[in-house]
Structure 1
Amino acid sequence: MSLLAGLQSLNLLLRFLLELTSLYVWGYWGYKTGNSPLLQWLLAIGTPLVVAVIWGLMGAPKAAIQLSEPVHLILEIIVFGLPVLLLVTVGKPEMAWILGSLLLVNKLFMYFWKQ
């Protein structure tokens, strides 16, 4: 395996980990913003579940519904970018910077390597 192929594989692994992290942030935000224990748990479980289903149906590489490029980018911004803002709203700006930076680097490499 060449160095480039190895780096591309690492970038895809990073993308997968960013997907999992984004879903976690959606759930964390739901738990932190709920104003009752029942609502906290409903949002903590329901929000990432809804996001995962939408991403799986329309955003994932092998999704059943293939979106046009501008619409897909909007979905990516919602699924991956919005958690950066959600981290800020729950008082985790440092984590938001880290997540946002990793997302930007990953997306740039995905674009240049046509992944």
Structure 2
Amino acid sequence: MPSSALPAPVRAFFLVNEGLAFLLEVLALGLLAWWGLARDIGRVGSVALAVAAPLATAVLWGLFAAPKARFAVPLAAQLGVKALVFGAAALALLALGQRSWALWFTGAVLLNTALATYYRTRS
């Protein structure tokens, strides 16, 4: 059932959840950049890593996990890419000494992804 066929409150919840998914994706890229900058590998190396990590992640996401991904892959592969990206972001938070934030981020990602996958597979 397309999202437009859902009752208004459910459709609103679906749209809010989709917006949250986008924010979590952008946050994951930012966390990887922060982690890259925090590495003690020299100024140029840290900046290069802060650019390369989110860039590589964005390319991987765009190829396999984005709603309009370049390659259509099975749901399991999409979820695997999401687990890799969000897992890397959570590990980046842990490496930055942000254990509580890593747990909150992981919980938000798991709940958001479960709900988004449920609604997307219903259509």
Question: Do these two structures clear the TM 0.5 threshold for a shared fold by scoring above it?
Answer: yes
Residue 83 of structure 2 is aligned to residue 77 of structure 1: yes
Q: 1:80 Cα deviation (Å)?
A: 1.5
The range that moved more, 78-87 or 39-48, is 78-87
In structure 2, what residue type is equivalent to 1:86?
A
Rate the CA distance shift 1:59–1:111 in 2: closer, same or farther, 3 A: closer
Consecutive unaligned residues of structure 2, counting only runs of 5 or more, are: 1-6
Amino acid at match of 1:61: P
**1:103 equivalenced with 2:109 (yes/no):** yes
Count how many residue pairs are aligned between Structure 1 and Structure 2.
115
User: Equivalents in 1 of 2:76, 2:105: separation in Å?
Assistant: 23
Pairing 1:32-47 to 2, within 5 Å after superposition: 32-47=38-53
Q: Tell me the secondary structure at the aligned position of residue 70 of structure 2.
A: coil
Is it true that 1:18 corresponds to 2:24 in the alignment?
yes
Q: Hey, which bits of structure 1, 4+ residues long, moved more than 6 A?
A: none
What amino acid is the match of 2:98? K
Contact 1:34-1:43 at 8 Å conserved across structures: no
1:70 CA displacement:
2.2
- Structure 1 unaligned blocks of 5 or more: none
Instruction: Name the SS of the counterpart of 1:87 in structure 2.
Output: helix
Give the 3-state SS of the residue equivalent to 2:120 in structure 1: coil
The CA distance in 2 between the partners of 1:58 and 1:108, in whole Å, is 18
Q: RMSD in angstroms over aligned alpha carbons?
A: 1.5
Greater gyration radius:
2
Choose which of 28, 32, 35 in structure 2 pairs with 1:29: 35
Q: CA deviation at 1:73?
A: 1.7
Equivalent pairs: percent with the same residue?
Answer: 28
Task: Give, as a single letter, the amino acid of the residue that structure 2 aligns with 1:53.
Answer: V
CA distance in 2, matches of 1:70, 1:96: 24
Could you say which structure has the greater relative contact order, defined with CA pairs below 8 angstroms and 6 or more residues apart? Answer: 2
The two structures have a TM-score, normalised by structure 1, of 0.91
